[in-house]
Amino acid sequence: MNDRRAGSRRKGARGPRRLETDCRVNISIFGLGYVGAVSLACLARDGHQVIGVDIDAHKIAQINAGQTPVVEEGMIDLMKQVVADGRARASDDALGAVLATDLSFICVGTPSAANGSQDLSAVTASAAALGRALRGKPGSHVFVFRSTLVPGTVEEVLVPILERESGKQEGRDFFVAFQPEFLREGSSVRDYDHPPFTIVGCRHDGAEAAIRELFGHLPCAVHRTSLRTAEMLKVCCNNFHALKITFANETARLCDALGVNPFEVMDLVCGDTQLNISRAYLRPGFAFGGSCLPKDLRATTHLAKMRDVEMPMLAGVLSSNDRHLDLAVSRVLASGARRVGLIGLSFKAGTDDLRESPMVTLAERLLGKGIRLQIYDPEVFMSRLIGANRRFIETHLPHVGELLHDRIEDLIDQCDVLIVAMNNPTALAALQQRARPEQQVIDLVGLPQLQALPCSLEGLCW
Ligand SMILES: NC(=O)c1ccc[n+]([C@@H]2O[C@H](COP(=O)([O-])OP(=O)(O)OC[C@H]3O[C@@H](n4cnc5c(N)ncnc54)[C@H](O)[C@@H]3O)[C@@H](O)[C@H]2O)c1
């Protein structure tokens, strides 16, 4: 991993720039669709010398005639200008384009194959052509993949092709980066100039420096990540967008069946920037639970069924949550330990509410597998539990009183595996002092402090 989160920076908002001649970069762009054509026009506008390469003769002819191959706001005038100024042209000559430039962007399509996998044929064909061209080129070159690629593609597929076809070595003879593109069709020139951030996935400083030179002036932070993180980030962003649209649409279908205005509801949902449109609930961790979310999801999906409204995404949420719980159970069982301590029982730190706590379900499942479980939760006292909370625990963990310990030290001294399910300073301090090298901690919350413990550490899925 060569992530350098601290290395990000933010620049003041500025518009497109024209470069001094000594900053001009010779650039080739492979694939002249929405991403490639807009990049070609904007980079040429910014003062660089750009050659576009495509296998589509019609697109090449259009660009060389100063016309845009894609319908996008601002592109007609921009393309006319940059071609007239002699800063952009197009060709089908991959070899000539690599020889004449210092850096290539690869923006070819990566559509779905019949089985749903990503069809990499265009990007692998481009990598092979680029590698062959590099074989005869003296000096270095930077290849920047901008097509959306599933994680691992650059390292496992594309770099090996480039190295095989060129006979050269990445990091020594040439550099490779993955820089995801975040523009949206319809507003792509504006989006190009105002990205949410510039992400540079790479293994070597040479690739990062080249991208900073081209995009460092944009009004956003630059983050360097590993290649896989950058690839994952792009698909993650698209999946999140799809999930948001589907959430709004499922909600609208139910609203419609109930005579509720979905626009009013979603507008107010978006008005909550503390819990809804915020970082809240977007940090990886353990399964959700508690006295509200599971029951309200069940009530919503039941209501939808009664009204003949299909909500497959929301109806699948509890099942996905259960899979997360299954993973925790399998991590504990895989450790082979019989004496296990669970730190945290209520559904979140700072409360004694045990109703639908995923930790109670975890405890139930581990006890069912014959694990000798001990539990520490500084907020939970059997003598104080009342009402629905008490009834819930009496149904699910009737002998919980025998499992609960007042002192975290008892768990640490008597257990082989400790499951950390809450962020509790007392527990963390005791672990730091008393944990033994042969002990294992299984982290369900993603606490950075656990990295310093004097024992082995396993995260739930990190
Ligand atoms: N369209 C978007 O808004 C958008 C936004 C971000 C990322 N992306 C991603 O960027 C990539 C490109 O998307 P697009 O919409 O611009 O694609 P597109 O289908 O519009 O264009 C792809 C171009 O690549 C050309 N091509 C195919 N094989 C080639 C080869 N061997 N050499 C040279 N050119 C070749 C095609 O002829 C075509 O002109 C995709 O991976 C896509 O997922 C797209």
Query: pLDDT for 227-268, tens place per residue?
Result: 999 999 999 999 999 999 999 999 999 999 999 999 999 999
Residue listed under structure tokens 């076809």: 165
Q: Is residue 2 a contact partner of residue 155, using CB atoms and an 8 Å limit?
A: no
Q: Is the pLDDT of residue 161 over 60?
A: yes
Spans of all domains in the chain: 5-10+22-230, 320-459
Radius of gyration of the chain from its Cα atoms, rounded to whole angstroms: 28
Q: pLDDT at position 16, please?
A: 60
Q: What are phi and psi of 397, to 5 degrees?
A: -135, 70
Q: Is the pLDDT of residue 20 over 70?
A: no
The CA distances from residue 10 to 144, 160, 198, in Å, are: 22, 34, 10
CB hemisphere CA count around 416 (13 angstroms)? 10
Indicate if 320-459 has the same CATH topology as 5-10+22-230.
Answer: yes
Q: How many whole angstroms separate alpha carbon 329 and alpha carbon 323?
A: 10
Of all protein residues, the one whose alpha carbon is nearest to atom 36 of ligand 1 is 31
Q: Is the pLDDT of residue 1 over 60?
A: no
Please give all residues whose beta carbon lies within 6 A of any atom in ligand 1, as ranges.
30-36, 53-56, 59, 107-110, 122, 125-126, 147-148, 181, 183-185
Of all protein residues, the one whose alpha carbon is nearest to atom 28 of ligand 1 is 122
Q: From the CA of 30, how far away is ligand 1's center (Å)?
A: 9
Residue listed under structure tokens 């005579």: 259
Q: Is residue 228 a contact partner of residue 151, using CB atoms and an 8 Å limit?
A: yes
Structure tokens that stand for 40 in this block: 């070609």
Q: pLDDT at position 234, please?
A: 98
Q: Is residue 231 a contact partner of residue 151, using CB atoms and an 8 Å limit?
A: yes
**Which CATH superfamily groups domain 5-10+22-230?**
NAD(P)-binding Rossmann-like Domain (3.40.50.720)
Nearest to 411 by CA among 340, 350, 338, 346: 340
* Residue 184 CA, closest ligand 1 atom number: 3
Q: pLDDT at position 42, please?
A: 97
Share of residues in the chain with pLDDT > 90 (%): 88
Q: How many whole angstroms separate alpha carbon 406 and alpha carbon 162?
A: 61
Length in residues, the chain: 462
Residue listed under structure tokens 């990000």: 8
Burial 230-258 (b: 16+ CB within 10 A, else e): bbbbbeeeeeeeeeeeeeeebbbebbeee
Q: Is the pLDDT higher at 353 or at 92?
A: 92
* Residue of 42, 54, 144, 199 best suited for mutating to test ligand 1, as the one with most atoms within 8 Å of CB: 54
Indicate the class that CATH gives domain 320-459.
alpha beta
Q: pLDDT at position 18, please?
A: 58
Q: Is residue 47 a contact partner of residue 16, using CB atoms and an 8 Å limit?
A: no
Q: pLDDT at position 370, please?
A: 96
Residue listed under structure tokens 């978006």: 270
Q: What are phi and psi of 145, to 5 degrees?
A: -85, 125
Q: How many whole angstroms separate alpha carbon 42 and alpha carbon 183?
A: 12
Mean pLDDT of 182-200: 95
Share in percent of the chain as helix, strand, coil (round to 5): 45, 15, 40
Q: How many whole angstroms separate alpha carbon 349 and alpha carbon 337?
A: 26
Adjacency order of strands within the sheet including 372-376: 372-376, 339-343, 417-420, 440-443, 456-459
DSSP state of 392: H
Residue listed under structure tokens 């792009």: 234
| pLDDT tens-digit map of 367-386 | 999 999 999 999 988 778 88
Of all protein residues, the one whose alpha carbon is nearest to atom 1 of ligand 1 is 34
Catalytic residue list contains 292: yes
Mean pLDDT of 407-411: 95
* Residue of 29, 56, 107 best suited for mutating to test ligand 1, as the one with most atoms within 8 Å of CB: 107
Pick the catalytic residue from 23, 107, 202, 292: 292
Q: How many whole angstroms separate alpha carbon 111 and alpha carbon 119?
A: 6
